[in-house]
Amino acid sequence: MLYKRISEMSREEKDRLIRRGGELADVRDTVASILQDVRQNGDAALRLYTGKFDGAELGAIEVSEQEMDEAMQSIDASLLKHLEFAAGNIRKFHQAQMPEKVWFMELSPGIELGQKFTPLESVGAYVPGGRASYPSTALMTIIPAKVAGVRNVVMCTPPGADGRINPLTLAAARIAGADHVYKVGGVQAIGAMAYGTETVLSVCKIVGPGNVYVTAAKMQVRDKAEIDFPAGPSEVLIIADDSADARMAASDIIAQAEHDPNAVSVLVTTSAQLAEDVHAEVLGQAARTARAEIVRSSLANAAVILAGSLEECIGFSNDFAPEHLEIMVSEPDYVLERIENAGSIFVGNYAPVPVGDYASGTNHVLPTAGYAKIYSGLNISHFMKSASIQRISKQGLETLKDAVISIAEKEGLTGHADSIRTRFSN
């Protein structure tokens, strides 16, 4: 774990933090080869790569209704209630984001301009597996699509070695409203959803997080299916002053570190005492955590950084553009107003990232590796498209015609100009 003042950090140390994340170029050719195989050979390729990478021999690729029913029945009733509670909050938050389906404004007499919002026809939700099951990601990717009105939402997730999906993930998919669930993960799942196979339905858009291979695959299939954004290994940046609780801040670093060996956790603080206390707490908590091996690997990517001022903390955060940003300072609104780049923001000592991961209702599918500078986290707009509308009378066109004719002729498009003149020739 890096433990330094910002003023003492070398350029290499700063660059290593700012430019974190796997290199998509490193896996490009491998990913392209798998995608091409899936495109050409469909289900046979899915079975081949599922056996190779997941160690599972697939029978039916799609999860049956009977399997879904059995999964629901196998889950403790109290846990199902918690899943439904989280799903309800996620649904409410995304319903609040819904735009009016059609709206108009009057530009001037005879000219009405507006927009019409339409849900995408189909969406594919990718839910990672591997080191852990992620029923929460099923909720986060499927529910907003259904709220938006997407008719066909499919989910892909890797099976275990027994060829089955974790029952909790299946239960979450049922609660969220998935129309089809497939036992396929990795690059092959992205290819299947983009191109379609004998079993897997092709979709208009693919959403959801994944490792560097999944992210690279999403970037490579954009000629067939749109994607949300690159979403790789998880990360948190915490801005804190001497009002923060060291134990809480350290526990949030550990929570992020246990996701994945490539997860990134950073504390930037104005308090030398807090920096010292958090560093010690992190090392102590790391030794006691259940996923100690993963945490130890991840802490190689972690940093505790001492800044000279709150402004320096904010500047570093905006350069870093974290997936998750926690603000643990005495005047959080001052910091919040100055944040420009973050996937999701958590304000106060009692707003740790895990509440957004699971149950507060905000979405946990977020841009990582600095992509928060150019992308927004998953929201209702990812599942809709908009068309502009113009409703114009002859009176309205009269006020526009001179400008349109003049500009069209200047561009050499006389047909454009004549289409306006025609309407006033009688």
Catalytic residue (choose from 258, 279, 281, 324): 324
Residue 357 annotated as lining a ligand binding site: yes
Residue 416 annotated as lining a ligand binding site: yes
Supply angle C-alpha 172, 177, 181, rounded to 5: 70
Nearby residues of 102 by Cβ (< 8 Å), 6 or more positions away? 114, 115, 116, 117, 389
Catalytic residue (choose from 226, 323, 326, 364): 323
Residue 126 annotated as lining a ligand binding site: yes
Residue 324 annotated as lining a ligand binding site: yes
Residue 188 annotated as lining a ligand binding site: yes
Query: Which residue bears the tokens 């134990």?
Result: 247
Residue 33 annotated as lining a ligand binding site: no
Question: Is 82 one of the catalytic residues?
Answer: no
Q: Distance between CA 238 and CA 246 in Å, rounded? A: 11
Residue 341 annotated as lining a ligand binding site: no
Nearby residues of 388 by Cβ (< 8 Å), 6 or more positions away? 113, 114, 115
Q: Are strands 226-227 and 205-207 parallel, antiparallel or unpaired?
A: parallel
For residue 247, the tally of other CB atoms under 10 A from its CB is 13
Residue 134 annotated as lining a ligand binding site: no
Q: Distance between CA 97 and CA 99 in Å, rounded? A: 6
Query: Which residue bears the tokens 């299947």?
Result: 192
Question: Is 324 one of the catalytic residues?
Answer: yes
Residue 279 annotated as lining a ligand binding site: no
Query: Measured between alpha carbons, how far is residue 362 from residues 23, 43, 87 in Å?
Result: 28, 35, 11
Q: Distance between CA 192 and CA 176 in Å, rounded? A: 22
Residue 41 annotated as lining a ligand binding site: no
Annotated binding-site ranges for NAD(+) = 126, 188, 211
Binding residues: 126, 188, 211, 234, 256, 259, 324, 357, 411, 416
Q: Which residues are annotated as a binding site for substrate?
A: 234, 256, 259, 324, 357, 411, 416
Active centre residues (catalytic): 323-324
